[in-house]
Structure 1
Amino acid sequence: MTENFPGPMAGKTVLVTGGTGGIGRATAAGLAALGARVGITGRDKARTQAAADQIVRESGNPAVDAFAADMSCQAEVRALAVAVRSAYPRLDVLVNNVGGFWATRHLTADGLERTFAVNHLAAFLLTGLVLDRLKGSAPARIVTVSSNAQAAGRLNFDDLQGERSYSAQRAYSQSKLANVVFTYELARRLEGTGVTATALHPGLVRTSFSAEDPSRLSKVMIPLLRPFMKAPARGAATSIYLASAPEAEGVTGRYFANRKPKTSSKASYDPAAAARLWQISADLTGLNTRGRETQRRGT
């Protein structure tokens, strides 16, 4: 148990999605080293367990748990939430880290565009499903990994899933803007509960980002940019800070980069767009506006 492992996060429980590699794995390792009990998610059970075992060896903290879940599939996100609630009597921090970039338009098992489904809807759904556990553990924190790409993002409500016209960069920027808009709206809705919500830009980090379905541009640019990219441990610094730092306690509805609050894009502060995105997300995931399960429209 974490009580036997010293550190400023001893006795705290954290869930990091997408924790088998890159920023997510580095975030989980950093929080485990601080004494937290850490759960990580990954699509493949064996790979997720191997990552958890490696974090145990590196941090010296034995309290690292592996949860297998494909975050593009809402049934698996729901099963993950059930497993997390069963395993953890308390949940102090949720780090919505999982994300990706796909050059071509893919549909998920739910018939949704993959970028929007993984980068935004997975965080929306999982957060809603574990929110009661976070509230019961307050003060608690929700940290969502966005990107500076949010600055170029536009919420195209007439074509959120790129059915009429798909551009990988447009879809990615939109999803990262959605992360920030979601965070600000979540912070408003959680006011007075003791649960905070923040978003962040991790920087340009050396990861397997876009490796599944790279664009021609990324095939050219990533090797050129690689020498200038941060190591994953540096890229995880702001996530770890927002999840653990005493000075971040009570900070909510803010966007961070390099562990400092920053101004996000003008579009991210539109409350009407935030309310509209929330309702659409609730409809697409079967969560009502209070985060409870409802029948998903069209199913």
Structure 2
Amino acid sequence: MWMPNLPLTILTGVAAGAGLLSLFKDLYGGKAYTKEASADGKTIIVTGATSGIGQETTWEFAKRGAKVFMACRDMVKCEEVRKDIVLETGNKYVYCRPCDLADNASIRKFVERFKSEEPHVHVLVNNAAVMEPPQRVTRDGYETQLGVNHMGHFLLTHLLMDTLEASVPSRVIVLTCVAHARGDINKEDLNFSKQYDAAAAYNQSKLANALFARELGRRMLEKDIAVIAVDPGFADTELSRNLAMRKSLTRFVVYPLFWPVMKKPRVAAQTVLHAALEPALQRCKGDYFVDMKPAELSEKAQDYELAMWLWKVSERWTRLYEHKADLQKIMAE
């Protein structure tokens, strides 16, 4: 009697299962922002636009007619991605501009150049992030996750604030995630220099994002600038490259377990698109959205005193007012 080749049968079954899962993710992995909200006439900045959610967000904005500035560290990669977006969307108004969020000087140079080229920015998407890297600090001495995920965006947003005010109605979109609820602001050692814990530092940075969005929204109450915190969900992007599930032999065991529930980047990008373009959200002042639905931030993320403490520390650490004064002087020349 003929007996099937067991290893081949198993492999065939696994391959078929993977195909079905892929189809499921394509069809049911998340809903699209299908409204005919045009981005024509809008100038938009997206940080971290060379991969993952940032890349797909840029593609979506370009498809809808926006002028998009990709604020990125790697110009070679940025140009490759930009060309693909232009070819696929037919929108030639997509630009690469150097902006290293781990370097305050680079952020200021980006803003200086942007302001010399453009009078308006209608949407600023603070997307770029790093997650659980080895212990190191940025050029300005911040722990990497705190520096890139929070401090860099704090400085960038403030240096663009006058342009956002000149462009009303405008919006600031801050990407955070569910990790903010597990975070604490380590007041005694923000940089985790005494005892580094990569996961705790990441959670702290995501809580910092949420606190920043809440406090910025409060300060925009009398202005037509919407501030929206967004959780794009658990997406399959390069952000997770430092996690154990991506490293060594564990990636063959752990990663497949998570893959079925991970969103594709273009699906996750819909949450950003919704926050940036949905007309009804223009009145948002630090509101939080998960999968395009209003959600409640953690109790810590709604702590006004903690938000004020972090705001003042961020002003001091980034030397915000020095950068603003220098930038104003340069732009006036």
TM-score (norm 1): 0.91
1:276 match:
309
Does the Cα contact within 8 Å between 1:145 and 1:201 map onto a contact in 2?
A: yes
**Larger helix proportion of the pair:** 2
1:87 match:
117
Distance 1:251 1:273 in 2: 21
Q: Deviation of residue 218 (structure 1)?
A: 5.2
Aligned partner (choices 200, 218, 224) of residue 257 of structure 2: 224
Q: Deviation of residue 153 (structure 1)?
A: 0.7
Does the Cα contact within 8 Å between 2:226 and 2:281 map onto a contact in 1?
A: no
Aligned partner (choices 209, 216, 219) of residue 179 of structure 1: 209
Q: Deviation of residue 215 (structure 1)?
A: 4.1
Q: Deviation of residue 293 (structure 1)?
A: 4.3
Q: Deviations over 1:139-182 (max 9, x none)?
A: 10000111110110111111111011211110111100100100
Aligned partner (choices 130, 134, 141) of residue 104 of structure 1: 134
Q: Secondary structure at the match of 1:47?
A: helix
Does the Cα contact within 8 Å between 1:7 and 1:35 map onto a contact in 2?
A: no
Does the Cα contact within 8 Å between 1:31 and 1:244 map onto a contact in 2?
A: no
Distance 2:296 2:37 in 1: 32
Q: Secondary structure at the match of 2:239?
A: coil
Structure 1: which 5+ runs fail to align?
Answer: 1-5, 295-299
Please list every run of at least 4 consecutive aligned residues from structure 1 whose deviation after the TM superposition is greater than 2 angstroms: 215-224, 291-294
Distance 1:100 1:117 in 2: 10
Distance 2:205 2:230 in 1: 13
Q: Secondary structure at the match of 2:101?
A: coil
Query: Do residues 165 (structure 1) and 195 (structure 2) align?
Result: yes
Aligned partner (choices 233, 248, 260) of residue 293 of structure 2: 260
Query: Do residues 139 (structure 1) and 169 (structure 2) align?
Result: yes
Distance 1:7 1:254 in 2: 20
Q: Secondary structure at the match of 2:69?
A: strand
Aligned partner (choices 183, 189, 192) of residue 153 of structure 1: 183
Distance 2:244 2:82 in 1: 33
Distance 2:301 2:314 in 1: 16
Does the Cα contact within 8 Å between 1:180 and 1:199 map onto a contact in 2?
A: yes
Which letter maps to 1:174? Answer: Q
Does the Cα contact within 8 Å between 1:206 and 1:226 map onto a contact in 2?
A: yes
Does the Cα contact within 8 Å between 1:7 and 1:33 map onto a contact in 2?
A: no
1:3 match:
none
Q: Could you tell which deviates more after superposition, 26-35 or 220-229?
A: 220-229
2:65 match:
35
In the TM superposition, 1:16-27 aligns within 5 A as: 16-27=46-57
Q: Secondary structure at the match of 2:313?
A: helix
Query: Do residues 116 (structure 1) and 146 (structure 2) align?
Result: yes
Does the Cα contact within 8 Å between 2:72 and 2:97 map onto a contact in 1?
A: yes
Aligned partner (choices 280, 293, 298) of residue 247 of structure 1: 280
TM-score (norm 2): 0.82
Structure 2: which 5+ runs fail to align?
Answer: 1-35, 327-333
Q: Deviation of residue 52 (structure 1)?
A: 1.3
1:297 match:
none
Q: Secondary structure at the match of 1:253?
A: strand
Q: What is the root-mean-square deviation of aligned Cα atoms in Å?
A: 1.8
Distance 2:231 2:273 in 1: 12
Q: Secondary structure at the match of 2:95?
A: strand
Does the Cα contact within 8 Å between 2:225 and 2:282 map onto a contact in 1?
A: no
Aligned partner (choices 57, 80, 83) of residue 53 of structure 1: 83
Does the Cα contact within 8 Å between 1:198 and 1:251 map onto a contact in 2?
A: yes
Which letter maps to 1:114? Answer: T
State the number of aligned residues. 286
CA pair 106-151 structure 1, distance change in 2 beyond 3 A: same
Q: Percent identity?
A: 35
